[in-house]
Amino acid sequence: MKKITYDSLEVCTYPTREELGDAAASFAAEAIRSAIATRGEARVIFACAPSQNEFLASLVRRPITWGKVVVFHMDEYVGLRAEHPQSFRNFLRTHLLEHIDDPQAVHLIQAEKDPMHEIARYSHLLSEKHIDLVCMGIGENGHLAFNDPPVADFNDPRLVKIVELDEGCRRQQVNDGCFPNIEAVPTHALTLTIPALVGASQVCCCTPGERKANAVHDTLLGPISKECPASILRRHPHAMLYLDTASASHLTE
């Protein structure tokens, strides 16, 4: 394992995706247990993407009192129902919820309903109490959740918003094997905003794979700018970025 700090962001690189996932799960589990010990519950936001597979597979094996955890997720395609195979709610169910004891609460983005009503509802749920942990990844275009460069706003006054997905973001969904072609990828989504994500007490960011190498380079070595939304992680006081050898391959000493 190799560890380097970029501004305030601690970056750990592991040889394989499995080792990355185990290390990130250890960090996240400790953050959850600490929040429960301190406040009696942990409020956690999860990303739903193939980049999280190894992390979630390791996390569900950890000793966590899930009955004291409130679960959120960070985005959903407009118009897709929860049972749709490519909905992020379906991902959360199959990779996390089916493998753990019942959480204290599970709050899902209902993006098939009226978007403005859902934005207000989910924003209220998020703002009820502080978020303890965000478990996220970095997109091929540097996005966090669906905050692509054209719509990312480091000072966004909202917690949730509707966005049009840029071509790079939609192409990533095809590259990930989630859709057969770009025409099949929805064009709009509801997403938590940058302030909603980085406002958490701690951030655990898992970003494996060679296709993320350019975004990782720009996140760590480029300017802190909405042109690479993930670069804002370098300002977070308690964020960890977990890489594998492939995603770290464009970094220099």
What does the pLDDT read at residue 62?
97
- Any domain includes 100: yes
- Any domain includes 253: no
Is the pTM higher than 0.85? The answer reads yes
What does the pLDDT read at residue 175?
87
- Any domain includes 220: no
* 15's tokens: 């040889």
State the total domains in the chain. Answer: 1
Residue 104 sits in a domain whose CATH number is 3.40.50.1360
Round to whole Å and give the CA distance between 167 and 169.
5
- Any domain includes 240: no
Round to whole Å and give the CA distance between 177 and 136.
19
The pLDDT averaged over each successive group of 10 residues in the chain (253 residues) is 96 98 98 98 97 98 98 95 91 98 97 95 98 97 96 98 91 87 91 98 98 97 98 98 98 75
Q: What is the DSSP letter of 102?
A: P
- Any domain includes 73: yes
Q: Tokens 């480091």 label which residue?
A: 154
- Any domain includes 8: yes
Alpha helices in the chain (DSSP H): 17-39, 53-59, 88-95, 115-127, 167-175, 194-198, 213-221
- Any domain includes 250: no
What residue ranges in the chain does DSSP mark as E strands? 2-6, 9-14, 42-46, 69-73, 75-77, 105-107, 133-136, 160-164, 188-192, 202-207, 239-244
What does the pLDDT read at residue 172?
85
What does the pLDDT read at residue 89?
96
What does the pLDDT read at residue 253?
53
What does the pLDDT read at residue 243?
98
What does the pLDDT read at residue 193?
98
What does the pLDDT read at residue 102?
96
Residue 8 lies in domain: 2-205
- Any domain includes 226: no
